Amino acid sequence: MNQPLNPTNETHSADTDRRPVVSTGVVAGADAVPRYQHDRSVVDDPDEIAAPDDWSPVRPPLPRPGIAVTIRRIVLLLLITTAATAAIVSYQVGHSRSLSPVDELTYVDYLAKVDTGHFVISRGEQLGPYASNAIACRGILPSVAPRPTVCDSHSGYLYPARNTADIDPPTYYVLTDVGARALIAVGVTRDLVDAGRLVGIFWGGAALAAVFWLCLLLGASRTSGALVCAAALTTTGFWKSWTHVTPHASDVLIGALVSVAVLLWVRREAPGWLLLLVGAAPVMFKASDVTVIAAVIVFLLALALWPGFGTAAGQRRLRSRRELLLGTAMIVAGLAAATLLWLLVRGHYSLSAVNDFPQFNANRFQLKWLLDSLGTFAQSFQSLSTTGLAPIFVIWMFGSVVHQLSDRSDSLEVRSLSFAALTVAIFGAWLYVVSNYVLLHQRVVIPARYGATLMPVLLALTARNIRGRVAQLAALVYVVLMMISAFHPLCPPPAPRSS
């Protein structure tokens, strides 16, 4: 006859079964201890108690899908997000012939020169014939009207201006030119500008897929992830970056992929060398993309130094404090190496040492600059929208971040990420203010769009907080109204701003 497992011969009802109780939600508290097999109160044999490093996560790991299944899911996700982006981008490209006042002329010049094998724009380089013809044919409304008599006249007309995009590495332009040439080859269009703009469909589709991935990694539902992706797609600044030739088209994609890569590494699901790429990739697209680097560095440091790190039960199996600090150093090393490499290349091709923006020169640093730029990136989402609806989502977004930062039932990972997002949203612009003065002795007003790479993290944290049918319905109503405004603006757009 089998002996009972209870050595003390205590009687147990079904409610006090000795089986470990595994939570299906978040941890009950930051320092709470779930009822696992390592808990002596629920284990019959003390020898079965696991060491703290072997504690299981709150939820048992699900079986990983095969490679074929994973590839099918990725392809399906990309098809859905790309199709959704195509609906807006193709419509806007067809209804917007003039060049954008936010530096599209110089970006078109860069793209046209890359298309002919000229991969690095030299400092002081003049605009080429293709860009000059583009401004004559298209204009830059409302500041520069088209010139039909010059357009396509093949008169050798050169627009009297320099290309000020020499600070940008050619990465975006090379990738966009490959896509543009493919669209031209299959007969979608014969115009390089329109082809380059239509490549934004793929930049946007990949960006939304990456944001959706980030939402799932942080524990949001598929419905909530889809809703915040739709909110991003229908936000004016985002789809405008995907409907014009601009390296800002990569902002959301870079921000999402960097965040995903760091999260996977923290969870021991990605190799350490990936952090070098994380540090290097943003600066190889656009200097302003380093905002997300500031966010992930603050995240890693906050997680490593958070009180109770390494002792709270029920957390994921994360990297150790030492590994987190070393990972931070690797990201900084990747960023420094990529920046130095590009500066050396740029310096080699420089044609002139003339300062293109003398109006920004400053003799001394002023504390007022920091005060004026406080909270700049907290306005990124609102500044990227031209409707009066954006403040509603901004309040929801930062309310979600603050809630998850203060909620002790959330994991240290989520609370650290919330702290990083909030910190960079408030103080992130200081990075640019200080670096501009130290390196260039200039005072430049930092535009809120430089915080665009931070948006994927804010969107994913918001998705975690869209719980229940009422919240999802409210988000859906917001998305529908924003979608309507994408085709029929609910209010007039603001006056164009210089870059």
pLDDT tens for 239-255 read 889 999 999 999 999 99
Q: Kindly tell me if the per-residue pLDDT of 441 is higher than 90.
A: no
Residues 293 and 417 in one domain: yes
DSSP 490: S
Question: Which DSSP letter does residue 442 get?
Answer: B
Residue 145 has pLDDT above 70, yes or no: yes
- pLDDT given at position 406: 92
What per-residue confidence (pLDDT) applies to 12? Answer: 43
Residue 233 within any structural domain of the chain: yes
Give the pLDDT band of residue 189 (cuts 50, 70, 90).
very high
Tell me the average pLDDT of the chain.
82
Measure CA 389 to chain center. Answer: 22
**Average pLDDT value for residue range 394-408:** 90
Question: For residue 429, is it within any domain?
Answer: yes
Q: How confident is the model at residue 256 (pLDDT cuts 50, 70, 90)?
A: very high
Stretch 412-441: mean pLDDT:
92
Query: Does residue 304 sit in the same domain as residue 437?
Result: yes
Query: At which of 152, 178, 198 does a domain end?
Result: 198
**194 and 206 co-located in one domain:** no
Does 185 reside within a domain? yes
Residue 177 lies in a domain: yes
Separation between Cα atoms, residue 345 and residue 353, nearest integer Å: 15
Q: Are residues 287 and 365 in the same domain?
A: yes
Q: Of 155, 122, 121, 117, nearest to 136 (Cα)?
A: 155
**Domain co-membership, 279 together with 165:** no
Query: Is 293 in contact with 282 (CB distance < 8 Å)?
Result: yes
Examine the pLDDT at 356 and tell me if it is beyond 60. yes
**Mean of the pLDDT values across residues 47-59?**
41
448 and 329 share one domain: yes
With 0-12 / 13-18 / 19 or more C-beta atoms within 10 angstroms meaning exposed / middle / buried, residue 179 is middle
Residue 486 is predicted with a pLDDT of 65
* Count of structural domains within the chain: 2
Are both 171 and 259 inside the same structural domain? no
Q: Does residue 310 register a pLDDT over 50?
A: yes
Whether residue 74 lies inside any domain: the answer is: no
The whole-angstrom separation of Cα 220 and Cα 263 is 15
Residue 89 lies in a domain: no
* Domain residue limits at 266: 200-349+358-487
Q: What's this model's pTM, rounded to 2 decimal places?
A: 0.82
**68 inside domain:** no
Q: Give the separation between CA 141 and CA 354, rounded to whole angstroms.
A: 29
Q: Could you tell me if 140 and 230 lie in one domain?
A: no
Pair (211, 181) in one structural domain: no
Residue 273 sits in the same domain as residue 165: no
Do both 299 and 416 map to the same domain?
Answer: yes
Mean pLDDT of 341-369: 81
pLDDT bin (cut points 50, 70, 90) of residue 352 is low
Residue 36 above 50 pLDDT?
Answer: no
**Mean pLDDT throughout 87-105?**
91
Show which of 139, 167, 198 is a domain's final residue: 198
Q: Is the pLDDT of residue 235 over 50?
A: yes
What pLDDT, on a 0 to 100 scale, did the predictor assign at position 392?
78
| Mean pLDDT, rounded, for 173-177 | 97
Final residue before a domain boundary, out of 198, 213, 238: 198
The least confident of 127-136, 218-227, 234-243 is 234-243
Residue 248, in any domain of the structure = yes
Same domain, 425 and 382: yes
Higher pLDDT, 17 or 270: 270
Predicted local distance difference test score (pLDDT) of residue 252:
95
Contact 204, 85 (CB under 8 A): yes
pLDDT above 90: percentage of residues in the chain: 52
Q: Give me the mean pLDDT over the 187-211 stretch.
A: 96
Q: What is the mean pLDDT of residues 157-186?
A: 93
